[in-house]
Amino acid sequence: MAAVDISLHEGFQLHSTAEEYILQPTNSGRALVFNRNNGDIRLNPAGTPVQADKAGKIVYGLFGVVPLPTTDVLVLITSAKSRGKLLGHPIYLASSFLLLPVCPDNALTPTDGKLISLIWKHLQDGKFWFSYEWDLTRRLQAQASPNDGAGNMDARPMWETADDRFFWNKHLHSMLIRYGASTGEREISRFILPVIYGFFDLRTSVIQSHPVQFALISRRARHRAGTRYFTRGVDAKGNPGNFNESEQIFIATPPSSSTSSVPSVASFVQTRGSAPFYWAEIVNLIRVPDLIIMDKGAESHAAFRAHIDNQVNTYGKLLLLNLVKGRGREKHVKDAYEDLVFSEKDKENKENEKSADAMEVEGENQGIMDAVDYVHFDVHSETSGDKWRRVDEKTEELGWTLENYGYFEAGPDPQAPPVKVQSGVVRTNCMDCLDRTNLMQTSIAKRAIDKQAHDFGLLTHPEFSITGEEEFMKTFREVWSDHGNFIATAYTGTGALRTDFTRTGVRTKKGVVVDKLTSGWRYILNNHSDGYKQDAFDLMTGAWQPHGDPGEAAVLLHDKRHWTVRLVPYIFWFSLVMIFFTLALRRASSYSVLYPLSLYASLFTICAAYMARNAIDFIAWPRLNYQPMLDAIYYEGPGARTKKGSKARGGGVVQEVHKGEKTILEEAIKAR
């Protein structure tokens, strides 16, 4: 039997008829056909002519097929921008899309239309990267030995070898994967394009007059994906919220004194993710949300160990770097994290002291926690008073661990074993895994690049430092700042804080003002729009799936809140605008200003008080997959909680539960 070509198609002609959508590869290969009457798919036999009334539209990839209650929607990449070549492989950013409901024209239900708007929301908000030749889902070290372990080249298609965590559109290719499994049609793999949701930048620079390339890739995990306050902590499988793998790639041409002409290629990986246990923050229209730590006993330990085991099995050794405050409300997160780490270490040590038979029973879990170290570093406290040098000083304190973990260096031959491997990673978190995490990851990455530049012979004296290379450091800071902004925008809707320090190495007054404005905008988005964004995440990643019932998503169609509730925000914003307008107008006397100002101020105060007291009705909750949030809010077991809001049902959403009014929140979510 002839070998089947499983390389990815690099473009298609899209042909549409009343009965079918046809994706005809622009090079060679069989066409993929979607039947618009029954939703079935098939691969046409080779040489089958396309029956279409007009010329096809060029598309650059099939992003996937989104299942809706009454139809499926094809998501096609219609424009892609090249962002450079990484190790000779072109990398593309998907820049425009086409959505095609598979059902016949004019057969969409209102529910389908609302869900399609969520698809558009997700595509417009995200950054989606792909390559036809290079697996962007996997770090360099994971691709260093492209064989099956017996010396044979791995002949599997790209989607089968992709890292499941970062294969963002895997759920959307479920139909094609099932088709291939049921029919044995391996050629279907040529249509399954792995895409990452993340960040990519590739720059050229110089170090000591030697040309270098610097790349940074961030891969966002598709499991437990979502927004800031709706995806804290972990799920039962150990998947944390806002988990990102960041890979820094450094490519240097050999110095003139070297006998080699092969560029040196190094990779250094770090990760970030929400503190890996059950916890949540409940938005309440107050500046500081309610914090809930859920100590579920064995469940909490199982979820924590599932995450740690996965990290150690994937990366090797693990340094848990916890940056939350050591006092105040964040201390609850610190204490819960440390309790889990040290109790699991104690448990494992006791098991290791048992007989050899007991150790055999434990199997692969023996010794996992021995590979884990934990460090707490209160960034807020340590850097108060503009002591930003403490970030780099802390990195140097971790120097022995970082030296031990090392970095990956590719061999001169892609088929040869690597020169070096990275044996461990630093997993950093703060509350959001954003601003403080960005500072520490940038500092750690700077130390790694300094080590690589010395090892590659670019910095020839031990006292030379990468920080003295002004041109390169400008590039380095810009890329890491952009990287932090992307991750922050994906999670909160705004760019990162403290980017002036990340970008320039100096904290400025302008940066402080920008941070205040950014924090305010985050507050508005997190309270009033993140629910809609979370629904889009859940739809696209498969966290919520329809089951053929249009009523499942009908909650999206109508605002069923009482008309007075819907009217209050309009009066609130109208009165606020009129207060400023009144103050800005010139009046004949102070009396002529006082009356309207008093009226609008009274309206503003009444509306603000009403909204604070009934916050549940004014927060944009997720409405497709809201059960996880309800589980957190209704939790009454051991743990810790803060009550920063008012004493009524809004400001203390958590407190409302203790009144036994369990149905109020669920009805409020559905009403929105």
Q: How far is residue 102's CA from residue 44's CA, in Å, rounded to a whole number?
A: 18
Tell me what pLDDT residue 648 has.
34
More confident residue, 278 or 586: 278
The average confidence (pLDDT) of the chain is 88
State the CB neighbour count (10 A cutoff) for residue 478: 15
Q: Is 450 exposed, middle or buried (0-12, 13-18, 19+ CB in 10 A)?
A: middle
State the CB neighbour count (10 A cutoff) for residue 543: 22
Residue 544 has pLDDT above 60, yes or no: yes
Tell me what pLDDT residue 2 has.
54
Least confident of 338-352, 529-543, 589-603: 589-603
Enumerate helices (H) and strands (E) in the chain, giving the number of each: 19, 20
Least confident of 192-196, 197-201, 208-212, 579-583: 579-583
Distances in whole angstroms, Cα of residue 442 to Cα of each of 86, 214, 359: 21, 14, 40
Percent of the chain with pLDDT over 90: 63
Rg (CA), the chain: 27
Helices (H), 398-469: 399-405, 435-455
Q: Is 596 exposed, middle or buried (0-12, 13-18, 19+ CB in 10 A)?
A: middle
Residue 351 confidence class, pLDDT cut points 50, 70, 90: confident
Q: How far is residue 172's CA from residue 65's CA, in Å, rounded to a whole number?
A: 5
Which of 237, 234, 302, 244 shows the shortest CA–CA distance to 272? Answer: 244
Which of 219, 168, 113, 286 shows the shortest CA–CA distance to 652? Answer: 286
Contact 437, 429 (CB under 8 A): yes
Percent of the chain with pLDDT over 70: 88
**β-strand partners of 234:** 240
- What letter does residue 224 receive in the DSSP assignment? T
Structure tokens at 651: 């400001």
Tell me what pLDDT residue 408 has.
98
Q: How far is residue 389's CA from residue 379's CA, in Å, rounded to a whole number?
A: 11
Residue 672 confidence class, pLDDT cut points 50, 70, 90: low
Tell me what pLDDT residue 670 has.
59
Tell me what pLDDT residue 496 has.
79
Residue 147 has pLDDT above 90, yes or no: no
The enclosing H or E element of 66 equals: strand 61-67
Count the residues in the chain.
Answer: 672
Residue 104 confidence class, pLDDT cut points 50, 70, 90: confident
Tell me what pLDDT residue 54 has.
65
The strand ranges marked E within 166-316 are 196-207, 210-220, 244-252, 264-272, 279-282, 290-294
At position 248, the amino acid (one-letter code) is: Q
Residue 472 has pLDDT above 60, yes or no: yes
Contact 419, 267 (CB under 8 A): no
The residue-averaged pLDDT of 476-497 equals 92
pTM: 0.90
Q: What angle do CA 446, 92, 216 make, to 5 degrees?
A: 5
Which of 666, 554, 658, 551 shows the shortest CA–CA distance to 617? Answer: 666
The residue-averaged pLDDT of 626-638 equals 87
The strand ranges marked E within 553-602 are none
Tell me what pLDDT residue 596 has.
85
Q: How far is residue 404's CA from residue 447's CA, in Å, rounded to a whole number?
A: 13
Q: How far is residue 667's CA from residue 513's CA, in Å, rounded to a whole number?
A: 39
Residues 655, 659, 660, 664, CA torsion sign:
negative
Distances in whole angstroms, Cα of residue 140 to Cα of each of 133, 302, 412: 14, 31, 14
Residues ≥6 apart with Cβ < 8 Å to 590: none
pLDDT in tens, 21-41: 999 999 888 999 999 998 899
Residue 656 confidence class, pLDDT cut points 50, 70, 90: very low
Residue 543 confidence class, pLDDT cut points 50, 70, 90: very high
Structure tokens at 119: 């698809």
């150690």: which residue's tokens? Answer: 312
Concatenate the DSSP letters of all residues of 378-394 into one string.
-HHHHTTTT-THHHHHH
Q: How far is residue 438's CA from residue 488's CA, in Å, rounded to a whole number?
A: 9
Phi/psi at 200 (nearest 5 deg)? -145, 135
Strand order of the sheet with strand 290-294? 279-282, 290-294, 639-641
Grouping H, G, I as helix, E, B as strand and the rest as coil, residue 284 is: coil
pLDDT in tens, 63-99: 999 999 889 999 999 999 999 999 999 999 999 999 9
**β-strand partners of 251:** 213, 265
Structure tokens at 609: 């008080």
Residue 481 has pLDDT above 60, yes or no: yes
Contact 269, 247 (CB under 8 A): yes
Residue 388 has pLDDT above 90, yes or no: no
**Per-residue three-class SS string for 513-530:** HHHHHHHHHHHHHHHHCH
Residue 153 confidence class, pLDDT cut points 50, 70, 90: low
